[in-house]
Amino acid sequence: MHKTAAGAQNGVIRIEEGRPAPSPPPGLTLAEGLRQQLEAAIAAGHLEPGSRLDEQEIALRYGVSRTPVREAFRLLAASQLVELRGRQGAVVRSIGPHVLLEMFQVMAELEGLCARLAARRVPPTWGATIEPIHQRLVALVDGGDADAFYDVNQEFHEAIYEAARNGFLADQTRRLRNQVAAYRRRVTRMPNRMSDTIREHEAILRAILAHDPEAAHRAMRDHVALLGDNLLDFLAAFE
């Protein structure tokens, strides 16, 4: 807001676009700031998969030139969140049921590995960390607030990544999780999904706290696989 009418490095007066705040660089670069905003917009579903991203439009909307926008696109392509078709623009990546199935298969394995490592490595005090999160999740089942449930669920899994003490694995798993986020959100709203999730989480917790790596692996693997199945059911209902 403070650099609104100012941004005149040349004589041209910049037309102030709508509301979305010209993205003041809070210390980091414009391209990086854009990347974060666009990533959030994609994960939240404000930008639908398959929709085309117009460089000029976004540049105008955020009050920057095309250059940082283009760089942000490349950055997003790195996370596989957008697809760059040479000379034909960028589109929000749209994942078909087939690829989604493949992704969940991989994610199940990675999250399973997290759980296995966690079971081997958690200190006795870890229960004090995870229990409050789990309880908050339980409390949200009846409320029916799917978005809140989704967020706390994320915290639960994040806590397991931490416990696995493998930063690279955590990054990979998080990245994958982010890629399917736009689709997952919808599943949370399915009939018994929330209560099922709680039950599955409890099995995972039991195994980890009992230091049983194989059981933890299996429980987590099944949990994610079930979620994938639900998602595919959901998608099938639409076609």
Partner DNA sequence: AAACTCATTATTGTATACATCATGCTGCCC
Partner DNA sequence: GGGCAGCATGATGTATACAATAATGAGTTT
Q: Is 233 helix (H, G, I), strand (E, B) or coil?
A: helix
Q: Which stretch binds DNA (CB under 7 A): 5-13, 108-116, 181-189, 196-204?
A: 5-13
Q: Is 87 in the site for its own copies (CB under 8 A)?
A: yes
Query: Tokens 């929330």 — which residue?
Result: 194
Q: Residues 77-93, buried b or exposed e (16+ Cβ, 10 A)?
A: eeeebbbeeeeeebbbb
Which DSSP symbol is given to 124?
A: G
Q: Is 106 in the site for its own copies (CB under 8 A)?
A: yes
Closer residue to DNA, CB minimum distance, 6 or 236: 6
Locate 108 and state its tokens: 């199940």
Q: How far is the CB of 208 from its own copies (least distance, A)?
A: 18
Q: Which does 30 bind (CB under 5 to 8 A by kind): its own copies, DNA, none?
A: DNA
# chain residues binding DNA, by CB under 7 A:
26
Contact present, 105 and 176 (Cβ < 8 Å):
no
Contact present, 79 and 177 (Cβ < 8 Å):
no
Q: Which stretch binds DNA (CB under 7 A): 25-33, 113-121, 198-206, 222-230?
A: 25-33
DSSP 95-117: --HHHHHHHHHHHHHHHHHHHHH
Query: Tokens 């736009």 — which residue?
Result: 182
Closer residue to DNA, CB minimum distance, 29 or 129: 29
**Binding residues for its own copies, per CB under 8 A?**
28-29, 32, 67, 70-71, 74-75, 77-79, 86-87, 99, 102-103, 105-106, 109-110, 113, 166-169, 172
The residues that touch DNA, with contacts defined as CB under 7 A, are 7, 9-10, 12, 25, 29-31, 52-56, 64-68, 70-71, 84, 86-90
